[in-house]
A and B are shown apart, each in its own frame.
Chain A
C-alpha cells in the first residue's frame, strides 16, 4: 500500500480536518480538565491550608499570651526590680536572685524551647537566663531600635527582627525579639528602669509553625508596625503573584498573621502536567493514526476508481474497478463500471456502423465501373473490328470481359495479389490498345506474395494515374510494379520514369480533372490511403517518393500476413 498524499487529495481534505479536530478536542479536554482539576485542587488546598493557618494563628496567640503574661509578671516583681537596680547586701541579693529564678521558672514562657530571656537595666547591668554569655555590649543593646521602641512605649510589648542576636549562640543568627520596658510594680509609674527581652533565633521561632508550612503555603508574622518579624518564606518580603491566596488574621495585640497560599504552584508540584500532556498527545496520535487507517481503508476503492479513470485512455476503457468499500462508493464504482460498459458498447457499435458504412461505400464505388470507360473501351473495340483488326479486338474483348468479371462479378472485397495483378494486366492491355503502345508496363511479384489477400483494386488508381499523368504528349516510358515482402510488410511499388509528381498533388488530384472516360471506377487515389488506414490501422499506408529526373515511386505498405483477415 503506497501512500501518496497530494495537497488536493481527499486524504488532506478529510483527514486533516478530522485530525485537527481531534487535536483540538484533546487539547480542549486536557486544558479543561487541568483547569478544572486545578480549581478543585486550589479550593481544597486553600481550605486545608486554612486549618493550618488557624492552627498557626492559635499557636502564635498562645505564644504571645505567654510572652505577655511573662512580661507582666516580671514587671510586677519587686525582687527583680530590686535586684536589677542593685544596691542590696549580698544576702538580700541572693534572696532576690532566688525569687527571680522562681518567677521566671514558674511561667509558661520558660517552658518554651529555645527561648532566650534577658533583663537589662538602664545602668548597663544585664541578666541572661540562659547558660551563656551576652556578647553585645549592654549600651549597644540599649541603643537598638527595639530597645528604643520599648522605652518610648513603656506599656507595650514591642517586637522586631534583628539580623544578629546578643548572645554567644545567637550572635551569628537573626533573632525574633520581643521587648517590654520594665517600670516596676507600682501602677502609675511609667518611668522605665530596664527592659525585658524575650527572643528566639528566627530559625527556631519559625519551627513553632514551619512544621505546617511548605513552599506553597507560607506564614508571615508582622508586628504592629507591619514589619515582618518572622516568616517561613525564604525572604523577608511578601510575594506578589497572580493566583495567591492571602489569609490574614489580626491578633488582638495588633500583630498580623499572614498566610500566603500558592495553590497553583502546589498543584504543579504535585502533578506532572507535562506528563499528562504527553500522554494526551500520544493517545491523540494513536487515535489519529487509527482514524487515518480507517479512512484510508474506506477511501481505497475511491482511489482505485480514480486510478482507473486516470488510465482510461491507455486501457481503452477495458479496465474495471473492483466493487468494494462503503455503500456509496460501491454504488459509485458500480455506476462507473456500468457507464464504461455502456460507453464501450456504444463506441464499438458506432465504429462498426461507421466501418460498415465505409466499406459499403467503397464496395459501391468499386462496383460502380465508370460507364465512360465502358463506352470508350467498347468504342475502341468497335473501331478495331471496323478496321478489321479482329485479332486485336478479340484480345481486347477478352481483357475487358476478364476485367469486368473480376471487378463486378466477384463480390469479395479481398482478392489475392495474383488476382489483383491479373486485373491490372487486363486494364493495362485495354489502355495500351486504346491509347498508345508507348507506355510499357511490367509486373514483378515475389512468389511468396502471390497468395496474400489485399483489398480489391488497391493498386489500380496509381497505375491509372501513372498512365495518364507521368507521360504527357505521347512520351515513351515504363511503369514497373513490384510486389515484395519487406520485414512484416507487404510492399507494393509502382515506379514510373515519367515527369514525377508530388504526394500532395497526387492525393489532391480530383476526379474532375480527369477526362471523363479515363477513370475505371469511382475510387480515386485520395481514397486509397484512407481505405488502407481504415482497414489496417495507422502503421500502414502510402509513401510517395519523387525523383525529379526519374519519375515517381509510389510505395504502399500493407501487412504481410498469410491469414490476415479483417478484424
Chain B
C-alpha cells in the first residue's frame, strides 16, 4: 500500500513536469499556416489601368455580388509589366500559388501564352461561344474548337483630332473623314504652319502606330502559319514609309513615355491622337478642351490598296487559370458578367466609355449617347461601327519580340537606310532570335 502510494506520487509528479515541459516545447513550425478562407470563396483577378479595366471589374464584382454575396472578388491592380512578369515566372515554374483566378491579357500577348501554356487556361466554351464576340477578337483564343478567353474591350483605332486647330488651318470636319495618311500628313503640315502645333506624338519605343497601320491592311509581323514576315511585307514597308513622311514633314512630337504622351494632348501640344478608342476618357479629362475634340475613322494607307479606314490597338481579354483553386467560382463570375451581361456593358459604356466586343451589347442604349466633349458625336456608336470593319489578323506569338527588333530598324530607316536591305537583314535577325 505504502509503496504503491509512493510510486503513484512519483509518476504523477513526472507527468506534471513532462506535460508542462512538452507543452512548452511544442515545435515552432506552425508559421506556415494556410490562411483560412471565409465561408464563401474568394477569387482573385489581376488587371491594370485603374481608370478602365479596374473600374470595369469593380462594377462587374458589384453586380455579381448582388446575386452571389458569398463570393469575394479580390481585384488586384498591377502594372501590365508586373502582370506579365509574374505570369511568366509562375507559369514557367509551374507554381500556381500566388497566381490569380482570372487575368487580363492583352490580345497581342495572348497567342504567346496560349501556345506555351495552353493547359493552364480553362476552356470557356462552356460559358461563352466565340460567335458571341467580334470575330477579330474571338479568333485569337479559338483553338481546335475550344475557346479560351472572354473578349473584353475593342481597342478599335480612331483618329481623335482638335477641330479648332484643324479649322484654324482652314479645314473642316468633313475633310477628316475616311482620309488617307498622305492626306492626314498634308493637313498636319498646314496646321503646323498656321498654329505651330505638331500633328501627333510618336514614341519610337512603341510601334503601336506601325501595328495600327499594318492591321488596317490586314497584315502583321507574322503570317498565318506564325512565320515572320518582315522581308517583303508591303504593308509594313508602307507603314515605315509613312513614318518617314511624318518625320520629313516635321509634324511629329517625339515622346518617350506615357506621361509625355498624355501630357502632349492635355497641354495642347499636338492636334491629333491616333490610338485605340480606350483613350477617349483620358482625352475627356482635359475639361478646358471640351468641345474642341472630334473623332474620325483611322486613316488608311493610300499607297496600300488593302488598307481600310479601320484598325485596332490594344484591347484585352479575360483568361481563367484552370490550375488555381476556385475555377468554378471564377467561371461563374465570368459567365454572369463579361461573357453575357449586356446591362454591365451598358453601364460600362457610360462609366469608362467601353466599346464592348460582345455582339449582343452593340445595341445597348448608352452607345447612342452623344458626348458633348466630342461636339455631340455618338462616339460609342462610331467605335462600334468601325469595330466591325477591323481586319482580323493572326498576331502570332512574338508581336512584342519582333517589335523590339523593329524599333532599331525604324531608327535606321529614318536615318536613311534602304528599307528592303533593312527588312532582309531584320528578317534574318528576327528568325535567328525567335525561331
A residues apposed to B, CB below 8 Å:
25-26, 29-30, 33-34, 36-38, 40-41, 44-45, 83, 90-91, 93-95, 97-98, 100-101, 111, 113-114, 126-134, 167-169, 214, 266, 270-272, 275-276, 279-280, 283-284, 286-287, 290-291, 294
Specify the chain A residue showing the minimal Cβ separation from B78: A114
Q: Give every chain B residue within 8 A of A271 (Cβ-Cβ).
A: 23-24, 26
Closest CB in chain A relative to B74 CB, distance in Å: 16
Specify the chain B residue showing the minimal Cβ separation from A110: B81
Q: Give every chain A residue within 8 A of B414 (Cβ-Cβ).
A: 91, 94
- Binding site of A, secondary structure by majority: helix, strand, loop or mixed? helix
Q: Which of B86, B203, B259, B263 has the most CB of A within 10 A?
A: B259
Q: Which of A167, A275, A294 has the most CB of B within 10 A?
A: A294
Q: A94-B202, A98-B204 are in contact. List 15 more A-B contacts (CB 8 A).
A: A29-B20, A30-B20, A90-B247, A91-B247, A91-B414, A95-B204, A98-B205, A101-B205, A127-B256, A130-B79, A131-B48, A169-B77, A276-B23, A283-B16, A294-B5
Closest 3 CB pairs of A and B: A37-B24, A93-B254, A94-B204
Closest CB in chain B relative to A55 CB, distance in Å: 15
- Are B23's CB and A133's CB within 8 A? no
Given known pairs A90-B247, A91-B415, A127-B256, the reply for A29 and B17 (CB within 8 Å) is: yes
- Are A270's CB and B254's CB within 8 A? no
Cross-chain contact of A287 among B9, B21, B86, B263 (Cβ < 8 A): B9
- Are B23's CB and A279's CB within 8 A? yes
Given known pairs A114-B79, A130-B79, the reply for A94 and B26 (CB within 8 Å) is: no
- Are A279's CB and B19's CB within 8 A? yes
Given known pairs A98-B205, A271-B24, A276-B20, the reply for A126 and B259 (CB within 8 Å) is: yes
- Please report the C-alpha to C-alpha distance between residue A101 and residue B255 in the assembled complex, in whole angstroms: 11
Closest CB in chain B relative to A128 CB, distance in Å: 4
B30 within 8 A of A: yes
- Are A33's CB and B24's CB within 8 A? yes
B360 within 8 A of A: no
Q: Give every chain B residue within 8 A of A91 (Cβ-Cβ).
A: 247, 414-415
Q: Give every chain B residue within 8 A of A294 (Cβ-Cβ).
A: 5
- Are A287's CB and B12's CB within 8 A? yes
B62 within 8 A of A: no
Closest CB in chain B relative to A30 CB, distance in Å: 5
- Are B23's CB and A127's CB within 8 A? no
Closest CB in chain B relative to A203 CB, distance in Å: 12
- Are A98's CB and B263's CB within 8 A? no
- Considering only residues 245-269 of chain B, those with a C-beta below 8 Å from chain A are 247, 250, 252-260, 262-263
Cross-chain contact of B16 among A90, A94, A130, A284 (Cβ < 8 A): A284
Q: Give every chain A residue within 8 A of B415 (Cβ-Cβ).
A: 91, 95
Q: Give every chain B residue within 8 A of A29 (Cβ-Cβ).
A: 16-17, 20
- Please report the C-alpha to C-alpha distance between residue A134 and residue B261 in the assembled complex, in whole angstroms: 11
Closest CB in chain B relative to A23 CB, distance in Å: 11
Closest CB in chain B relative to A306 CB, distance in Å: 23
What would be 9 A-B contacts, judged by CB atoms less than 8 Å apart? A33-B17, A95-B415, A98-B407, A100-B256, A131-B79, A271-B24, A276-B23, A286-B12, A287-B16
Q: Give every chain B residue within 8 A of A114 (Cβ-Cβ).
A: 79, 82
- Please report the C-alpha to C-alpha distance between residue A37 and residue B16 in the assembled complex, in whole angstroms: 15
- Please report the C-alpha to C-alpha distance between residue A323 and residue B90 in the assembled complex, in whole angstroms: 85
- Please report the C-alpha to C-alpha distance between residue A90 and residue B252 in the assembled complex, in whole angstroms: 7
- Considering only residues 75-109 of chain B, those with a C-beta below 8 Å from chain A are 77, 79-82, 85-86
Q: Give every chain B residue within 8 A of A94 (Cβ-Cβ).
A: 202, 204, 247, 254, 411, 414
- Are A133's CB and B262's CB within 8 A? yes
- Please report the C-alpha to C-alpha distance between residue A290 and residue B8 in the assembled complex, in whole angstroms: 10
Q: Give every chain B residue within 8 A of A34 (Cβ-Cβ).
A: 20, 24
